[in-house]
Every structure is written in C-alpha cells, then in structure tokens.
A and B are shown apart, each in its own frame.
Chain A
C-alpha cells in the first residue's frame, strides 16, 4: 500500500479553483464578445482559450479524484499544450492587434476633438473678441482710412473664422444629398459673389431644367472658387462660369482674367498636405477642394497669359460619387446631433419631417423665417408649422414624391422669394427639405 503524499489531497482543490477561474473568464468573455465592437477578435480568442482551460483543469481535477485513465491523462496534457499555445498566439496576438486599432481610434478622436476645439475658438472666442475690437476702433480713431483698413482686416479674420467653421462641419457631419437645378445653384453662387464683390461681372452659361444631386456644401465650394477669382482679378473682374452637363457628370469651367493661383499653392492642394513652408494663403481653397473631393469630384487649375481657367467636375448623381473620401472623422451616434452639426447655423432653412408629417428638426434660419424659435416648432404637424404657400412641400412629404419649387413671400410679391427642395425618405421614414431665401422675383410656380 502506498503512503499518501502530504499535501496531495489539496491538489484537486487547486485545479478545481483554477478550472472555476477559467470558466468564469470564458463566461465573461462570451458576454463581452456580444457587446464588443473592435475588440471582438480578442474576446473570441479569450473565450475559446478560457473554455478549453476550464475543460483541461476539470479533467485534471477528475484525474486527482480517481477518474483516471491513460487516455484521459493524454487528453488533458494535449489540452494543456493547446491552451498554452492559444494563449500565446491568439489571446496575446489579438490583444496586441486590438490595442493598435484602439490607438489609431484614439488618435482619430483626438484629431476630431482638435478640429472641434479649433472650430469653436475660431467661431466663438476670436469672433467675439474681434467684434468688440472693431467697435472700439471705430470710437478711438478719427483717421477714416486707418479705421477702414483695420475694419477690413477684422472682417477678413471674421470671414476666415466662418470658413474654418464650415471646414469643421464638413469633417464632422454626415453626407446628405438633395436634388437641385444646376442653373439655380449657379444663380445663387453668382448672387452671393456679387453681394461681396459688386464690381465683379459674373457671366453664367448654363442649360436650364437640368438637375443634379448635391450636398448643400457644394454651393459653398463653388462660391469660394468664384470669389477667389473675383478677389485676384483686380477691380471689375470678368468671370465666366460655363456648365457642361452630361448623363453622369457636371463640369463647370470658371474662367477669369486674373493671374491665377501660384503653382506652389496648386501643388499643396493636389498633395493634400500643408507644411510650414508650403501652404495656401487661406482656408477657402481647402474648403472648396475638400467639399469637391467629398462629392467624388475634382478640381484643376490652369493659369495662362490671358487669365485662369478652373475646371470643376462633379458626379451628377450621388451614386456616381464612388471615390468619396472617407474623411468623416467622427460621426455622432445621434442623428439629430448630426442635423444640428451640419445645418444649425446654415444660411438656408432646413426642416426634417417623419412619415406622419411630424416635424423632427428645424434649424435656426427656418425658425427666423417663420418667426418662431425652432424648439416651439418641433413635434408639431408640418402643415401647421409651414405657411400655406408651402402646401406643395407638405404634400410632397406626405406622398413621398421629390419636389422643388419657389414661392413668393411678403406683401408685394416681389424681391423676396423662397426656393425649396424636398427629398422624401432620405433616410427611412424621414423627409428632408431645404428652404433657400433668394433675392429675385419668383413667379410662384
């Protein structure tokens, strides 16, 4: 009879505790796998390895309790090798890979935060301070030329801040397309440029009744490009915008009599990277380039002796924008935060309505137009919120038909016009309408 070895009776307890530990780890691993996102491969490896670990130590415990056999002994030893190997390769390997991924994510989030903070500083802090400075300068100085020069510089800075904010919106907000008439779009661009550069002569050459799908930001990009031409072509700049529309794309040729962009700036834009030595002279051209890239489009610059020719190419339909840049650094999980992010401070009105006609979102501009705070318009029926003139718009939402139209506003039926476009079901069960005030007569049809 063999003597019992001291301490031997406690060994199955050790193994049973170890088996229990592995089993708990496997159970928590399975639960984490169900909840995980990027960590899924890690939790899969962790759960499988822990499960096998629990089985291995359970078998070892049974062996110590007397359920022994050569086959069982071999099997448990093989399992031990599998558990050790899996732990080293699968668990540790996937953990390292997941850590790399998480680090990349953190970096991306950090950049998104930096963009957001920069945007906030530009739009709020600097802008507010400059407004105060502008007012004080006016009171302090009696030299009108000096005051004008300072005010012009301040206005430039404020405008740069606005463009930086638009850049921030572009990076942080999702893509939403609407259908517009190309000639109407170019008219709005022309109106905007003419209001800032009254001496510039912008000539449009565009076929009528041609539509394209675009994000509202495209208007900003085109305005930037035309404004850039007006700014650098001296007084009384002559700018021609010619649209060439095919089945799949819209090509816009912008020609001016100015010197064009320096080659260095064009190269910086084409390479998509600035350095302290090589950079563009502002934010506007970046904004235009990124918006066009976001549409799956492109822009090229050619400078000659007689002027500059900029060619913008944009897919006519959203589906044609196959090479869209995945630049969206951060997408809020909340859809209405997205609406707010992109449209809250837009110049045009935006309303989002669900399939029952209930208003889900109204931006500030539309609130101003309707003379009510946006908050008061939410969760009401669209037909109660919008004036009778927008009955077609409401009908379009109810029937799910895309529609564009124009209505007159104001008592004299002139000067104030509203152009609108409805995109029903732009996401399941929700319709999106853009409402643009235009400064020209509209006939109400």
Chain B
C-alpha cells in the first residue's frame, strides 16, 4: 500500500503542525496540569492527526475517530474542566466563609 502525500490538504497540515508544536508547552507544564487539560489537548491533537490521516488511508474509520473521539471528546473535556474548576472554587469559597464565621464566633 502506498501513501499519496499529494492528497493531503495544506491547511490541515498546518493544523497538525500547530498541534504538534503545541505539545511543547503542554509537556513543559505537564506536572501542573489537571488530567482533563491533558485529555482535552490529547483529543484536539488526535483530531488534527486524524483529519490528515483520513486523506491517506481508511477514510471512513479515521473520519469517525476524528469527529466521534477527537472533536466531541475535546468539547466534553473542556466542559468537564470548567464544571470541575467552578465546583472546586465554590468549595474553597465555602471553606473560607466557614473560617471567617469561626473567627467571628471566637
């Protein structure tokens, strides 16, 4: 099986290049990132890879992976991240409020 690189879309190659370059900050800050951040970027990267690979082989299957896993996964991961961060923030606010109330009681 030979791959016809000429069938690649230049714009989609740019997307892949940006996604691979974006791995640098993600890997650098990896220890500080929430797993959902890594997951969200992983889905975006997968989408960028798949959108190029689908032009080379297994179009239908890879296309399904691009949209069903990459695109949808990225959207759900960032939504989960936002929900989680807000919940954590509210928990911290509640804790601080309880501490203030305890100080008042003292």
Chain A residues within 8 Å of B, Cβ to Cβ = 5-8, 10-11, 14-15, 17-22, 24-25, 28-29, 31-32, 35, 46, 49-50, 53-54, 57, 60, 74, 77-78, 80-81, 83-85, 87-89, 91-93, 95-96, 99-100, 332-334, 337
Tell me how far the C-beta of A332 lies from the nearest C-beta in chain B, rounded to whole angstroms.
8
The answer to whether residues A14 and B86 also contact, given A22-B75, A88-B25, A92-B25 and a CB cut-off of 8 A, is no
A15 to B51, CA, bound (A): 14
Interface pair B89/A32, CB less than 8 Å apart: yes
Interface pair B44/A17, CB less than 8 Å apart: no
A57 to B21, CA, bound (A): 22
Across the interface, which residues of B come within 8 angstroms of A92, CB to CB?
22, 25-26, 29, 33, 37, 41
Across the interface, which residues of A come within 8 angstroms of B33, CB to CB?
92, 95-96
Interface string of B72-103 (1 = CB under 8 A from A): 11111111011101100100000000001001
A350 to B47, CA, bound (A): 67
A24 to B81, CA, bound (A): 10
Question: Closest residue to B29 on the A side, CB-wise?
Answer: A96
Using a Cβ–Cβ cut-off of 8 Å, how many residues does chain B contribute to the interface with A? 47
Interface pair B74/A53, CB less than 8 Å apart: yes
A17 to B70, CA, bound (A): 12
A383 to B18, CA, bound (A): 73
The answer to whether residues A17 and B72 also contact, given A77-B9, A333-B100 and a CB cut-off of 8 A, is yes
Known pairs A28-B82, A334-B103; list 16 more (Cβ under 8 Å).
A6-B60, A8-B60, A14-B67, A18-B72, A22-B78, A24-B79, A28-B79, A28-B83, A32-B86, A32-B89, A60-B71, A74-B11, A84-B15, A89-B25, A92-B41, A96-B32
Task: Please report whether the interface of chain A is mostly helix, strand, loop or mixed according to DSSP.
Answer: helix
Interface pair B18/A85, CB less than 8 Å apart: yes
The answer to whether residues A99 and B18 also contact, given A7-B60, A17-B76, A32-B86 and a CB cut-off of 8 A, is no
Chain B residues within 8 Å of A, Cβ to Cβ = 9, 11-12, 14-15, 18-19, 21-26, 28-29, 32-33, 37, 40-41, 44-45, 47-48, 51, 60, 63-64, 67-68, 71-79, 81-83, 85-86, 89, 100, 103
A435 to B26, CA, bound (A): 60
